[in-house]
Amino acid sequence: EILGLAERALTDVRDLAQLGRIRLRFGTFPTAAARLLPGIASRVAELGIELDATLEELSPLVTRINQHTLDAALVYSMPGYELPLRPDIVATEVLRDPLMLALPEDHPLATRATIDLESLLGLHDERWLLATSRNAPMDEIVVGAFSRAGHTLDVTIRTDDFQVMLGIVAAHMAISFMPKLASGPVRPGGALRLIEDPAFVRSVLLVAPAEGPGRQPST
């Protein structure tokens, strides 16, 4: 389904097949791997291509696609956060992934279907859980929104494991957020609510070197 939305990438895959090349070096970030990689692998297999998948975080994926050590990759960007892609890299948006606020199920905001920006900013006195990297793009969007409103978040816990995060939220130790793509069954004691503001949406992108004389298939 993802490759079907990127006609140019499909063309590259068919070209590899015609040349007798059967390996596609493909990178993806963890949440996309969990939800999207099985479908991508199945689609590529239908074309007679072997998928050589690499699981990385965002920054290493961007580096590898810029260096052409990957044929294609799934990455993501946030509003106001421009990926440092080289000019010869083409990016195609394949889906939009909204962020969700993670709360204890008895929190006052857990009764709402969605969370507006004003209500979100009212949580500035809560204890927060964020990613281990202090410049993670999703965290920067949230921290920046509070900073512009004159608030500094009290970040008491950091983890990159969404399942650990949901457990900590259900235990009333902090609140947090996560992309919808990463959400699954909610832990007992926890609740996930969509954040309405369009700034809290990430774009999942398929990136690959542009077509042309310098475009070489994988070996």
- By the 10 Å C-beta count (0-12 exposed, 13-18 middle, 19+ buried), 38 is classed as exposed
Under the banding of pLDDT at 50, 70 and 90, the label for residue 217 is very low
Where are the strands (E) in 105-209, listed by range? 114-115, 127-130, 154-158, 176-179, 190-195, 201-209
Query: In this predicted structure, what is the pLDDT of residue 219?
Result: 46
Per-residue pLDDT at 21 exceeds 80: no
Query: In this predicted structure, what is the pLDDT of residue 37?
Result: 86
Query: In this predicted structure, what is the pLDDT of residue 7?
Result: 53
DSSP for residue 69: S
3-state secondary structure 107-125: CHHHHCCEECHHHHHCCCC
- The mean pLDDT of the chain is 86
Of 180 and 184, more confident? 180
Q: Any residues with CB less than 8 A from the CB of 52 and at least 6 apart, and which?
A: 23, 24, 25, 26, 218
Tell me, rounded to whole angstroms, the distance of Cα 16 from its chain centroid: 28
Average pLDDT of span 12-29? 71
Under the banding of pLDDT at 50, 70 and 90, the label for residue 213 is very low
Of 211 and 12, more confident? 211
Query: In this predicted structure, what is the pLDDT of residue 50?
Result: 84
Under the banding of pLDDT at 50, 70 and 90, the label for residue 164 is very high
pTM of the model: 0.79
Q: Over the stretch 67-90, which tens digit does the pLDDT of each residue have?
A: 999 999 999 999 888 899 999 999
Average pLDDT of span 122-128? 97
Query: In this predicted structure, what is the pLDDT of residue 11?
Result: 61
Query: In this predicted structure, what is the pLDDT of residue 173?
Result: 97
Can you tell me the distance from the alpha carbon of 205 to that of 202, in angstroms, rounded to the nearest whole number? 9
Q: Over the stretch 126-156, which tens digit does the pLDDT of each residue have?
A: 999 999 887 788 899 999 999 999 999 999 9
In the chain, pLDDT over 90 holds for what percent of residues? Answer: 60
Tell the residue number behind the tokens 């099985």, with chain if given: 38
